[in-house]
Structure 1
Amino acid sequence: MSGLLEDQPQESAPQEIPADEELAPKVRVTKKLRKNNIVPQLLATGIVSWLDILVGYASAYSSPAESTMIRDLNLTKSEASWISSLLPMGALVSSLTGGPAVEFLGRKKTLIVADTIFLLAWSINYFSRNYWSMYASRILSGCSVGITSFALPVYLAETLQPKIRGRLGLFPTAFGNFGILICFISGSFVEWRGLAGIGALLSIPFLVAIWIVPETPRWYISKKKNRRARVSLQWLRGSKCDVTKEIEELQYVKNNDKATFARWHLKVFMIVLGLMFFQQFSGINAVIFYTTKIFEKSGSFLDASVCTAIIGIVNFVSTFLAAVVVDKLGRKVLMYVSCTIMAFMLAILGVYFFLLDVKHMDLKLVEWLPLSCFILYVLGFSFGMGPIPWLMMGEILPATIRGQAASMAAAFNWTCTFVITKTFPLFVDSVGAHYAFWFFSVIMICSLVFLKLFVPETKKRTLEDIERILSAN
């Protein structure tokens, strides 16, 4: 493995730096990142990221389950629509109210609560006999999704070493995409009740395995449980690693923390909200939720369900590609590439649907174009703007407000999700699919300006180093 970048003591505040530069000057490599240091962190990441399989599975559930649910429960289209829409609403509510839990209970116990709610939600879903119980199930699932969306990035940011935080920090997104894929594939073989049973079964492994991993050392330090913090950090870094210096750094930051909301906190928080805004207004959830209908409308030569499955596979694989290079190229480079690809693909899709719907042209010669554009669009999203805003949220939010601010940022993200998913069909019906895609393309162009002017690079920096630099600017 390559060397671990360590922080050097700083005698004076660092100079202000441009947003597109790294947060701190390069420092020398002082020791090797041993394999026995990586394995515990890899294990912890894999276990806690399992929750994101449930997030992806719950998010995708309505698509394969809707038709058989309507048949068995005698649902109207309006009732079925609410079953789909209640998940982001539940996520919004739990994101707004879950901040105190992650600070009071701790990151680990908050994740346990989220998984327990998932198990309860899927159990209610499985035994449902009417739309009211389905409503309750989806609201509870949404609550778990919301809690996971902010507690999981915080846990990983506070436990992973800088050299591998980018790679392992993208695991949750990959797991979430895998959950979507599991749901789509399972939906080809079982109906809505069977899908709910699979969801309940997927909730159980986490409740067994989570007891292996520790609470984050930073949370223990914040509660003045220094001995437990050392034990936790020793587990995460390996038995042969000397954690004295890292513990001292954590204690120093805590002792010198004024625990007040400073002006620079607001600046960082607005950067996080900006990333969440551009992530959702890329149109990704509109594309994911309405992929089948879009392909049916496009006249593609492939079956719509096959196209949807291909998109799901691309979404899953591309996140691993990002994980390979995120710590080498940096967060911003991946987001630049991501936004550029999405802007181009959305613009091309807009032209395609303009010629199809407005000009009524025969586009049989380019029936392959919608699928190709969607594949590249999803590849671009999963490569950058999908996982990295969540990764950076855990990295740049100050320790003093990390739990509460992450909760609010997640709530904002789910608000945007709800707005996009509810308004996209109306937008398409009123102005046409071409204008909808062009609108999202313009948003992606604006995101490039935002990234250039405001977003810092955080690769290979400790959370304490990031916080020092941001507070000085």
Structure 2
Amino acid sequence: MKILMRADTHYSIVVRDSEYEKPNYTFSQVLAAVAVSMGSMIVGFSSAYTSPALVTMQNSTSISVSEEEASWVGGLMPLAALGGGLIGGPLVDYIGRRRTILFTAVPFFVGWILIATANIVHLVLAGRAICGLCVGVGSLAFPVYLGETIQPEVRGTLGLFPTAIGNIGILLCYVAGKYLDWSQLAYLGASLPIPFLILMFMIPETPRWYISRGRTEEARKALQWLRGAHTKIDNEMREIALSDAEAGKESPITELLSKKYMKSIFICLGLMAFQQLSGINAVIFYTVKIFQMTGSSINEHLCTIIVGIVNFISTFIATALIDRAGRKILLYISSVTMTLTLMILGTFFYVRDNLNLDVTTLGWLPLTCVMIYLLGFSLAFGPIPWLMMGEILPAKIRGAAASICTSFNWLCTFTVTKTFHNIIVAIGPSGTFWLFGSICFVGLFFVVVCVPETRGKSLEQIENKLTGRQTTRTRRMSSIANIKPLPSGC
């Protein structure tokens, strides 16, 4: 097969079907996804901790916690995570993605031990702050690491592992919280960083970070480990090197505020905003209290466990669908589902509190709405903003931009979590859930207009599309490179 090329391309394209083997779920990639996701389990446990723990903490004789202090126990973790997001960006760029994740394990352990052994609320707050810093760093570094190590065709599925295993952390906290008090639950939290630390020692740094530091041989070894011993990696190595070389031409001073990068950052910020302003963390942090407010005859701790199970199962549904249906269609379904359930939940409270009607026969409705709401959230708006942050942020600004997006996410989380009680007092439960539902409805239009589909695309293809940059010459020939040899009879 002859290929006519412009004289100035200086590339010789050799087409071999064997060099473009069908990607698969290699053990190495799955191990990397699971290792990173163990950190996400700690994040999930940390987020859910206050839901069962605050109830026993406020009734405890060993520690005194006021209503205001309790709100800070819930709100300080996402506030500290904001700071963690800010320092995480420089860390993933300077010391590496893997090492940044690895360094969160010991502080996680220390934070949980402080909470478990506390006899005054200030030690609890200190422990929550330390865990919050690690949550912020980890929630930034996890998607960046996975985005740079997993093949495009399976990146959606394996990229949802942090959310899936993070939901196991939430479920574990809810189930254990039914039987353990706040201190015992914190000791359980302190045990989670141990397997996380062990697994992180078993995986390599990302090839892209090695390339950015000029450590080509180490990059090749890491990529070969990730793709499998018998997989040809020359084309992917060349692609990563060219992408890094192209990124290196940009001005380091103005790169983050460059107009061509604004679209990627804006999309990430928008997804993060709609994710958190949907009220999800208010539901996760205060699940028990929400069910206490409904007056349902179903035990609130049982409701919480059911909610955790639904949250856990729904992520696996998303994992099965994301590389088939794509990101956008799942975001559409997620937005509509959350909007409808929040509006119905708000209406339930309005009928009960403002119209003074008897709703005892509808005691099942709040639990059903929260279950379907979490199903919709976990299907897309929970995992996809984090997944897409690792996909659509350009390589040159990935660390700094991910830092901004993560910090913004946790700022929104803190705002919703800390003000949830105040909003309920100001506009009532019905107005609060209607407000969150309206935000989800606006989020649907944001997805329709602004969010691109990234399914099955390499990081270089996504970056080229969003920045409007012409693809590198090797990438411009990708369609040729993927052409299989014609039968000899043609």
Superposition TM-score, scaled by structure 2 size: 0.88
Task: Indicate the residue corresponding to 1:33 in structure 2.
Answer: 22
2:87 counterpart (97, 118, 121): 97
- Cα deviation, residue 365, structure 1: 2.8
Which runs of 4 or more aligned residues in structure 1 lie more than 6 Å from their structure 2 counterparts after TM superposition?
A: none
Name the counterpart of 1:355: 351
- Which stretch shows the higher mean deviation, 293-302 or 382-391? 293-302
Q: Is 1:143 aligned to residue 103 of structure 2?
A: no
Identify the match of residue 49 of structure 2 among 55, 61, 65: 61
Partner of 2:263: 267
CA distance in 1, matches of 2:139, 2:321: 23
Per-residue deviation, residues 40-65 of structure 1 (Å, max 9, x unmatched): 10111011110011001111112222
Counterparts of 1:448 and 1:294 in 2: how far apart (Å)?
26
* 1:185-229 deviations in Å (ceiling 9; x for gaps): 112222222212211111111212211100000000111111110
Deviation string for 1:228-264 (max 9, x for gaps)? 1000000000000010110011111111222332312
| 3-state SS of 1:73 partner | coil
The 5 Å alignment of 1:310-325 reads: 310-325=306-321
1:108 to 91, 98, 103: 98
SS at match of 1:129: coil
Distance 1:235 1:29, change over 3 A: closer
Whether 1:210 and 2:206 are equivalent positions in the alignment is no
The answer to whether residue 279 in structure 2 is matched with residue 291 in structure 1 is no
**Pairing partner for 1:162 from 152, 158, 161:** 152
The CA deviation at 1:134 is: 1.5
1:394 counterpart = 2:383 = no
- Tell me, what secondary structure is at the counterpart of 2:149? coil
Question: Which residue of structure 2 aligns with residue 326 of structure 1?
Answer: 322
- In structure 1, what residue type is equivalent to 2:28? P
Q: CA deviation at 1:32?
A: 4.1
Partner of 1:127: 117
Matched residue, 2:11: none
**C-alpha distance after superposition, 1:296-347 (max 9, x if no partner):** 2222231111111111110011000000010011000000000001111111
Partner of 1:460: 456
* Uncovered stretches (5+) of structure 2, i.e. residues with no partner: 7-16, 470-490
User: 2:418 aligned with 1:418, yes or no?
Assistant: no
Separation in 1 of the partners of 2:375 and 2:271?
18
Moved more, 52-61 or 185-194: 185-194
1:354 deviates by 1.0
CA distance in 2, matches of 1:182, 1:463: 34
TM-fit CA distance, 1:275: 0.3
2:30 is matched with which residue: 34, 39, 42? 42
Q: Find the residue that maps to 2:103 and give its secondary structure.
A: helix
Identify the residue that residue 306 of structure 1 maps to in structure 2: 302
Once the 2 structures are TM-superposed, how far is the Cα of residue 129 of structure 1 from its aligned partner? 2.6
- Tell whether the 8 Å contact from 2:207 to 2:218 is kept in structure 1 after alignment: yes
For the residue of structure 2 that corresponds to 1:359, the secondary structure is coil
Task: Give the equivalent residue in structure 1 for 2:40.
Answer: 52
- Structure 1 letter corresponding to 2:51: S
TM-score (norm 1): 0.91
In 1, Cα distance between equivalents of 2:464 and 2:292: 52
Stretches of structure 1 lacking an aligned partner (at least 5 in a row) = 1-9, 12-27
Counterpart of 2:374 (choices 372, 375, 378) is 378
Count, aligned residues: 447
C-alpha separation in 1, matches of 2:96 and 2:156? 23
Pairwise CA distance, 1:126: 2.6
Aligned to 1:245: 235
Alpha-carbon distance in 1 for matches of 2:244, 2:321: 32
Equivalent AA in structure 2 for residue 45 of structure 1: A
Tell me the SS of whatever aligns to 1:360: coil
SS in 1 for 2:358: coil
- Structure exhibiting the larger radius of gyration computed from Cα positions: 2
Q: 1:418-457 CA distances to partner (integer Å, 9 max, x unpaired)?
A: 1111222111111111111111111111111111111100
Checking the alignment, whether the CA contact within 8 Å between 2:261 and 2:394 is kept in structure 1 is yes
Q: CA deviation at 1:380?
A: 0.2
In the other structure, the counterpart of 1:182 is 172
Offset at 1:87? 0.6
State the alpha-carbon separation in 2 of the partners of residues 235 and 299 from structure 1: 55
Distance 1:429 1:233, change over 3 A: same
Q: Which moved more, 1:79-88 or 1:103-112?
A: 79-88
1:429 to 2:394 alignment: no
Q: Deviations over 1:72-92 (max 9, x none)?
A: 112333323322221111101
Task: Give 1:65's aligned amino acid.
Answer: A
Letter paired with 2:440 = M
The answer for the alignment partner of 2:68 in structure 1 is: 78
In structure 2, C-alpha distance between the alignment counterparts of 1:431 and 1:190, rounded to whole Å: 34
- Counterpart of 1:117? 107
Aligned mates of 1:329, 1:126 — CA distance in 2: 44
Aligned pairs for 1:219-258 within 5 A: 219-257=209-247, 258=249
